[in-house]
Amino acid sequence: MSGVSPTTPTDPPVVQISGLYKSFGTVDVLKGIDLTVREREVVCVIGPSGSGKSTLLRCVNLLERPTQGVVELLGIDVTDPDVDIDRVRTHVGMVFQSFNLFAHHTVMGNLILAQRKVLKRSKAEAEEVAWANLRQVGLEDRATFYPAELSGGQQQRAAIARALSMNPALMLFDEPTSALDPELVGDVLAVMRDLALGGMTMLVVTHEMAFARDVSDRVVFMDDGVIVEEGPAAQVIGSPSTDRARIFLKRVLDPTHIDDSEIGETEPDEPAD
Ligand X SMILES: Nc1ncnc2c1ncn2[C@@H]1O[C@H](COP(=O)(O)OP(=O)(O)OP(=O)(O)O)[C@@H](O)[C@H]1O
Q: Which stretch binds Mg ion (CB under 5 A): 10-18, 24-32, 51-59, 137-145?
A: 51-59
Give the interface with ligand X as residue ranges (CB under 6 A).
24, 27, 29, 47, 49-55
With respect to Mg ion, which residue has the nearer C-beta, 54 or 165? 54
Q: Which residue is nearest to Mg ion (CB)?
A: 54
> What's the min distance (Å) between Cβ of 33 and ligand X?
11
- Of the candidate residues 5, 54, 110, 133, the single one contacting Mg ion (CB under 5 A): 54
Q: Indicate which of ligand X, Mg ion, none lies near residue 93 (CB less than 5 to 8 Å, by partner kind).
A: none
> What's the min distance (Å) between Cβ of 256 and Mg ion?
23
> What's the min distance (Å) between Cβ of 190 and Mg ion?
23
> What's the min distance (Å) between Cβ of 126 and ligand X?
32
Q: Indicate which of Mg ion, ligand X, none lies near residue 121 (CB less than 5 to 8 Å, by partner kind).
A: none
With respect to ligand X, which residue has the nearer C-beta, 53 or 213? 53
SS3 readout for the chain: CCCCCCCCCCCCEEEEEEEEEEEECCEEEEEEEEEEEECCCEEEEECCCCCCHHHHHHHHCCCCCCCEEEEEECCEECCCCCCCHHHHHCCEEEECCCCCCCCCCCHHHHHHHHHHHCCCCCHHHHHHHHHHHHHHCCCHHHCCCCHHHCCHHHHHHHHHHHHHCCCCCEEEEECCCCCCCHHHHHHHHHHHHHHHHCCCCEEEECCCHHHHHHHCCEEEEEECCEEEEEECHHHHHHCCCCHHHHHHHHHHHCCCCCCHHHHCCCCCCCCCC
> What's the min distance (Å) between Cβ of 267 and ligand X?
33
Residue 110 binds Mg ion (CB under 5 A): no
Q: Which residues bind Mg ion (CB under 5 A)?
A: 54
